[in-house]
């Protein structure tokens, strides 16, 4: 097994962004597992501001994007905003996520990545607390202190909650959700697709919940809106309006198509109610509208979280199930 993994690791190549074949890349993601919207090159190009390289296995049999930031002459790998899960994508028959993370170059002194749980993770023992510790190849630069080498070499994988709902068969929601949806149905609320733009949804979100994410800058929000435009066929808005056409709430969804072996995904990326919509529980109505529109399809609704207990409780109302992703931490 060890020798096999060594042979597999030799086939993983580091490829700079300007040398990535984007057509082969997108074909690998679309035809493999999982087909998440964040992994497509046109989305990555915008949310990473063009600063991403990759690890590629074979002839694009599997790929692993590396979003890069630079500060004080040092290079970091950091998860971009509005890009919940990255990691490995493609065919995992002969390669696992761990082979990629062990090949992340040591020059990245800090690595913080959120890895999808769908691509196989092999040969790394997971503790009962859901944490795994692994070691990569030691940096061979003598000028690095032994302490820095230790932190660069040692990596930790931890699980983080994320709720999903398979849409092929949708079971009844819990009583509280049904009660809220029934109350909304007694009102003359209209749900519209692409009635409002991405920026208006983002502003609605910022007004409702922006104080919870003060580190997200205006430029980051603008980049996210631009990324949605870049994948126009795979991004859409859903908004709820009163009988007087007053906006009550809105959401941005990213979507992908399923393939022969894997479902498509519907990502609930950015959403929020207005003040009036919040009193009505309008997000119950928006989610119910989308679920009813997409049910009986081989797709998965990805709620994009959450480890926040109250948010998780809200998603559980729709019979969402926990599918934790991995958080990779390596370096200083």
Are 121 and 178 members of one domain?
Answer: no
- What tens digit of pLDDT does each residue of 86-99 get? 999 999 988 999 99
Are 169 and 193 members of one domain?
Answer: yes
Burial of 31 (0-12, 13-18, 19+ CB in 10 A): middle
Question: Which residue is it, tokens 């079971």?
Answer: 171
Are 219 and 276 members of one domain?
Answer: yes
Are 115 and 206 members of one domain?
Answer: no
Contact indicator for 288, 268 with CB cutoff of 8 Å:
no
At residue 151, the pLDDT reads 43
At residue 121, the pLDDT reads 79
pTM of the predicted model as reported, rounded to 2 decimal places: 0.89
Are 40 and 63 members of one domain?
Answer: yes
> In the chain, what percentage of residues exceed pLDDT 90?
75
Cβ neighbours around 72 below 10 Å, total: 4
Residue 195 sits in a domain whose CATH number is 3.40.630.30
- Assess if residue 319 is contained within a domain: no
The number of domains in the chain is 2
Residue 128 sits in a domain whose CATH number is 3.40.630
Are 141 and 212 members of one domain?
Answer: no
Are 148 and 181 members of one domain?
Answer: no
Are 13 and 154 members of one domain?
Answer: yes
For range 160-178, the mean pLDDT? 96
3-state secondary structure of 40: coil
At residue 231, the pLDDT reads 85
> What value does the mean pLDDT of the chain take?
89
Q: What pLDDT band is residue 150 in, cutting at 50, 70 and 90?
A: very low
Q: Is the pLDDT of residue 138 over 60?
A: no
- What tens digit of pLDDT does each residue of 249-270 get? 999 999 999 988 899 999 999 9
What is the DSSP code string of 197-265?
Answer: -HHHHHHHHHHHHGGG-TT--HHHHHHHHHHHHHTGGGEEEEEEE-TT--EEEEEEEEE----SSS-EE
Are 82 and 170 members of one domain?
Answer: no
- Assess if residue 237 is contained within a domain: yes
CA distances from 158 to 2, 116, 321 (A): 24, 12, 19
Strands 131-135 and 154-160, by their bridges, are antiparallel
At residue 292, the pLDDT reads 97
Are 38 and 102 members of one domain?
Answer: yes
Q: What pLDDT band is residue 9 in, cutting at 50, 70 and 90?
A: very low
Are 116 and 247 members of one domain?
Answer: no
At residue 149, the pLDDT reads 44
Query: Tokens standing for 96?
Result: 């696992």
Q: Is the pLDDT of residue 285 over 80?
A: yes
Residue 204 belongs to domain spanning: 164-304
- Assess if residue 315 is contained within a domain: no
At residue 144, the pLDDT reads 42
Contact indicator for 195, 244 with CB cutoff of 8 Å:
no
CA distances from 217 to 220, 222, 251 (A): 5, 9, 19
């Amino acid at each position: 097994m060890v020798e096999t993994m060594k042979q597999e690791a030799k086939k993983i190549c580091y490829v700079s962004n300007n040398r990535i074949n984007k057509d082969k890349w997108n074909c690998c993601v679309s035809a493999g597992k999982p087909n998440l919207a964040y992994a497509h090159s046109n989305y990555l190009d915008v949310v990473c501001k063009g600063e991403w390289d990759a690890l590629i296995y074979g002839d694009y049999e599997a790929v692993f994007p590396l979003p890069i930031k630079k500060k004080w002459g040092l290079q970091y790998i950091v998860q971009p905003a509005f890009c919940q899960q990255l990691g490995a994508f493609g065919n995992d028959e002969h390669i696992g996520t761990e082979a990629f993370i062990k090949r992340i170059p040591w020059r990245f002194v800090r690595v913080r990545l959120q890895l999808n749980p769908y691509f196989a993770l092999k040969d790394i023992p997971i503790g009962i607390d859901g944490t795994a510790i692994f070691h990569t190849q030691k940096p061979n630069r003598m000028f690095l202190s032994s302490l820095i080498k230790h932190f660069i070499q040692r990596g930790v994988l931890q699980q983080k909650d994320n709720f999903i709902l398979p849409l092929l068969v949708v079971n009844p929601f819990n009583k509280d959700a049904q009660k809220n949806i029934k109350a909304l149905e007694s009102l003359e609320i209209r749900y519209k697709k692409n009635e409002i733009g991405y920026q208006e949804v983002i502003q609605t979100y910022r007004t409702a919940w922006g104080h919870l994410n003060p580190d997200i800058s205006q430029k980051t929000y603008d980049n996210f809106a631009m990324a949605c435009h870049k994948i126009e066929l795979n991004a859409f808005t859903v908004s709820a309006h009163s009988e007087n056409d007053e906006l009550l709430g809105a959401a941005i969804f990213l979507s992908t198509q399923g393939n022969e072996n894997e479902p498509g995904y519907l990502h609930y990326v950015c959403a929020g109610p207005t003040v009036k919509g919040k009193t009505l529980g309008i997000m119950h109505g928006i989610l119910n509208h989308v679920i009813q529109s997409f049910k009986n399809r081989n797709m998965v609704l990805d709620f994009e979280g959450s480890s926040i207990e109250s948010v998780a409780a809200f998603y559980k109302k729709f019979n969402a199930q926990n599918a934790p992703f991995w958080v990779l931490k390596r370096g200083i």
